[in-house]
Amino acid sequence: MPDQGAIDLTLAHSPDSDDLVMWWPIVGMTDADGRPVPGERGRPAIDTGPFRFRAVARDVEELNKLAAGLPTGQASAAEQYDVTAISAGVYPRVQDVFRITACGGSFGENYGPKVVVREDSPARTLADVLDRAGTVAVPGINTTAFLVLRLLALDARPDAALAFREMRFDAIPGEVAEGRADAGLLIHEAQLTFASLGLRVLTDLGQAWHERYAEPLPLGLNVVRRDLDQRFGVGTVERLAHLLSASVEHAVRERAASREFLRMRAGDERPEWLDDALVDRYLSMYVSPLTLDMSERGRRALERLYRLGAEAGLTAPVERVDPA
């Protein structure tokens, strides 16, 4: 590479536990305010070579909008990141700017985001909600969960409109429990804790997907800007992708350290991270072998998602999935 100096990159991720634990090995452990913790733990755990990372945590739907150059309520649409988490569902909009990395993705293998209702709801199927023109609280129109929900809704009732209202993912369970929404689409750890609010599952999107296609459901992706080779020299994207893979592998191998990192970041807002059993359960779901390397199996699952989305007129076509 022509420039032997440091390569400073921004790395954006969701505040969800699976995103957080993947990158502490190359960023160093930080406290709930994002400041490096004292001592060795505050420094990268593996050799990052020329790369130096500034980590930024944002809600996944906000990251989707920023990647697509859309305005958000929290950050300028001009704010761009070199490495970022996005929903798989938004990738068709940003495929010319970003390249998927083989590591860092999340896939639901016969499980996934859940549509929930109150225990006393008369609805027993998604079709029931559509027939009653019920409102579904959703975590963002650019999320994969919303794309898959729309695909399933078209399958259940081709002529019915899906009524929905967007809000932050962590507000959805309460919105349904209090009766302000007829159903809610749950992502992140809310998929494990909803029952305590008197909610029940109407549809598990991952199970529904597996029943139809016998494939994992792509949910989240990690992507890097395609122009990094132009900015820092040919081969930068590939070298960066290898380093990102090494970070995920280290975080998975050092599970105790990853749990410690989450406990350090729990604060008052994420008490579930103090429960090691719950953390292990969630991480085993969404930091899987496909997260380490999506392989041909993950690539085929993405291609199916994009083919179905394009055929339904819900996404732009994706000609080629080419993970680095």
Buried b (16+ CB within 10 A) or exposed e, 183-208: bbbbbbbbbbbbeeeebeebbbbbbb
Q: Lowest-pLDDT range, 86-90, 121-125, 277-281?
A: 277-281
Rounded mean pLDDT, 97-109: 93
For residue 276, the model assigns a pLDDT of 66
pLDDT digits (tens, 9 = 90+) for 221-255: 999 999 999 999 999 999 999 999 999 999 888 88
Residue 92 belongs to a domain: yes
Q: Domain check: are 266 and 231 in the same one? A: yes
As given in the structure block, the two tokens for residue 163 are 């009524």
| Domain limits for position 34 | 7-108+218-311
Of the pLDDT bands very low, low, confident and very high (cuts 50, 70, 90), residue 283 is: low
Of the pLDDT bands very low, low, confident and very high (cuts 50, 70, 90), residue 310 is: very high
Q: Domain check: are 147 and 190 in the same one? A: yes
Q: Domain check: are 99 and 226 in the same one? A: yes
Q: Domain check: are 102 and 184 in the same one? A: no
For residue 17, the model assigns a pLDDT of 65
Residue 1 belongs to a domain: no
Of the pLDDT bands very low, low, confident and very high (cuts 50, 70, 90), residue 1 is: very low
Q: Lowest-pLDDT range, 124-128, 148-152, 195-199, 317-321?
A: 195-199
Q: Which of 213, 240, 265 is the last residue of a domain?
A: 213
| Domain CATH code at residue 288 | 3.40.190.10
Of the pLDDT bands very low, low, confident and very high (cuts 50, 70, 90), residue 262 is: confident
Q: Domain check: are 150 and 185 in the same one? A: yes
| CB 101, CB 321: distance < 8 Å | no
Residue 74 belongs to a domain: yes
Residue 317 belongs to a domain: no
Q: Domain check: are 294 and 160 in the same one? A: no
Residue 320 belongs to a domain: no
Q: Which of 180, 213, 246 is the last residue of a domain?
A: 213
Predicted structure pTM score: 0.86
Task: Print the SS3 string covering the chain.
Answer: CCCCCCEEEEEEECCCHHHHHHHHHHHCCECCCCCECCCHHHCCCCCCCCEEEEEEECCHHHHHHHHCCCCCCCCCCCCCCCEEEEEHHHHHHHCCCEEECCCCCEEECCCCCEEEEECCCCCCCHHHHHHCCCEEEECCCCCHHHHHHHHHHHHHCCCCCCEEEECCHHHHHHHHHCCCCCEEEECCCHHHHHHHHCEEEEEEHHHHHHHHHCCCEEEEEEEEECCHHHHHCCCHHHHHHHHHHHHHHHHHHCHHHHHHHHHHHCCCCCHHHHCHHHHHHHHHHHCCHHHHCCHHHHHHHHHHHHHHHHHCCCCCCCCCCCCC
The span from the CA of 314 to the CA of 147, in Å, is 8
Residue 174 belongs to a domain: yes
Q: Which of 213, 245, 267 is the last residue of a domain?
A: 213
196 against 292, higher pLDDT:
292
Q: Domain check: are 199 and 223 in the same one? A: no
Rounded mean pLDDT, 100-128: 90
- CA 198 → CA 119, 160, 177, distances in Å? 6, 28, 7
Q: Domain check: are 222 and 104 in the same one? A: yes
| CB 123, CB 134: distance < 8 Å | yes
pLDDT digits (tens, 9 = 90+) for 205-225: 999 999 999 999 999 999 999
CA 291 to chain centre: 11
For residue 136, the model assigns a pLDDT of 92
pLDDT at 267 over 50: yes
Q: Domain check: are 76 and 222 in the same one? A: yes
For residue 2, the model assigns a pLDDT of 43
Q: Domain check: are 237 and 260 in the same one? A: yes
Residue 185 belongs to a domain: yes
pLDDT digits (tens, 9 = 90+) for 7-45: 999 999 887 766 777 888 999 887 777 778 888 888 999
For residue 59, the model assigns a pLDDT of 85
Pick the closest to residue 41 from 205, 256, 289 (CA basis).
Answer: 256
pLDDT digits (tens, 9 = 90+) for 36-73: 888 888 899 999 999 999 988 888 888 999 998 876 66
Question: Quick one: what percent of the chain has pLDDT higher than 90?
Answer: 50
pLDDT digits (tens, 9 = 90+) for 311-322: 999 999 998 899
The span from the CA of 58 to the CA of 283, in Å, is 19
Domain count, the chain: 2
pLDDT at 266 over 80: no
pLDDT at 302 over 60: yes
Q: Domain check: are 175 and 306 in the same one? A: no
For residue 286, the model assigns a pLDDT of 54
Residue that has been written with the tokens 């992507």 in this structure: 223
Rounded mean pLDDT, 95-106: 94
Residue 98 belongs to a domain: yes
Of the pLDDT bands very low, low, confident and very high (cuts 50, 70, 90), residue 3 is: very low
The span from the CA of 42 to the CA of 55, in Å, is 13
Q: Domain check: are 97 and 54 in the same one? A: yes
